[in-house]
Amino acid sequence: MNTEIITADNANSYVLRNSRPATEAEHPQLCRIFNDMKLRQHCERDLSLMVGTAYSSGVAVKVSPQAGVVLLDADDIMNMTPDVIEFLIAHEVAHHSIFHAFDAATVATIETLCRTPMPLARLMARICNEILADIAAVSECRNVDAAVEFLSGDDDELKTLYVDLFFNRDNQVPEKLYYCFESAIRLQALGFLVNSEYYFGLLEVGVSAQRGQALSNHWNRVDKLFSHYLDFSEADASALGAVMGAGLYIAGCRYDDQRWYLEIEALGDYGDPLQFLDFKTVEDAYDIIEINSQHIRGIKHPLKHIAYDVVAGAVWSREDDADVAEEFLGFLADNLGVDARLL
């Protein structure tokens, strides 16, 4: 087992470990779209395209301040239409193009982030960054349908969140969709975008010329989406981090094992992962879950479901015995007060 600890210095190399450069001979369509998007978005970084194994369909990887990689998951893109692939590449290139900062239009959101517990602040910041990339990708592809298809997949309930905004219905995400909260909020933001007075102008001119005006108008509406989810305290964060760490420890996660890089990164939103994973025995970890159970059952927030899904994803990817996995996740779900679901 390689026990190299993943740090900011070597994390990107680890993410790219199972990938290779995309070539014109092997991936002509991907390379054509990628090169086109680099030119159209005026990206300041020297970007390259790679295909391999990723933890999502596409990842924007910063190699240095001047260079970056767009990594596409080889299996996922095999099942995508050309329009969806174009949106995905445009979205990932946009992450590199808007890397310098949140636009001034997001000042209100940033002020809100400063007043919220770290896990909520980081979740909101990540979603804001995704929404910015969505805006750029939709404007460059001139196709919102591909974005909706990518985010919703075959889930009609998710797609409804996008459609509902045209009829001025409740903007809150149903609790049963908290496990895919990021996609749900991004779909709602797309609904606001398409239902705006500047949407068609954005498609005509492109994101560069219209970006300031579009984001200023758009962010007033995006802020309202987050206003439903600010009820999350430091005590909630501490309890949820402790249980998340305990669940990951029981699943086999150890701080010095690089195979758990993504889970440790997620746990870091709640505090020091080393502290959260500091158990003498598995029985001690089970005790921590039960001690915090009553508090966490009272939390009504997407972060609880997201934390559960991080643990559940780790369990299902590493536990060969389905009965053992189901028994543990049933225990965890009962103590957290969430519905156990297969990822």
The per-residue pLDDT for range 271-329, each reduced to its tens digit, is 999 999 999 999 999 999 999 999 999 999 999 999 999 999 999 988 888 899 999 99
Report which listed range, 55-69, 157-171, 226-240, is most confident. 226-240
Question: What is the spatial distance between Cα 134 and Cα 189, in angstroms, rounded to a whole number?
Answer: 9
Ranges 80-94, 114-128, 143-157: which has the least confidence: 114-128
pLDDT confidence bin for 104, thresholds 50/70/90: very low
What would the pLDDT profile of 228-278 be if each residue is shown by its tens digit? 899 999 999 999 999 999 999 999 999 988 889 889 999 999 999 999 999
**Residue bearing the bigger pLDDT, 215 or 15:** 15
Pairing of strands 58-64, 67-73: antiparallel
Report the C-alpha gap between 270 and 291 in whole angstroms: 18
CATH 3.30.2010.10 applies to domain 1-99: yes
- Tell me which residue of 280, 304, 296 sits closest to 335, measured CA to CA: 296
Residues 111-122 have pLDDT tens digits of 666 778 999 988
Cα separation, 145 vs 88, in Å, equals 12
Rounded Cα distance between 314 and 17, Å, is 19
The alpha carbon of 97 is separated from its chain's Cα centroid by a whole number of angstroms, namely 18
| pLDDT confidence bin for 184, thresholds 50/70/90 | very high
What are the sequence ranges of the domains in the chain?
Answer: 1-99, 101-230, 234-336
How far lies 313's CA from each of 44, 174, 188, 247, 248, in Å? 36, 22, 25, 11, 10
Q: Which residue in 260, 270, 273 sits closest to 313, CA to CA?
A: 260
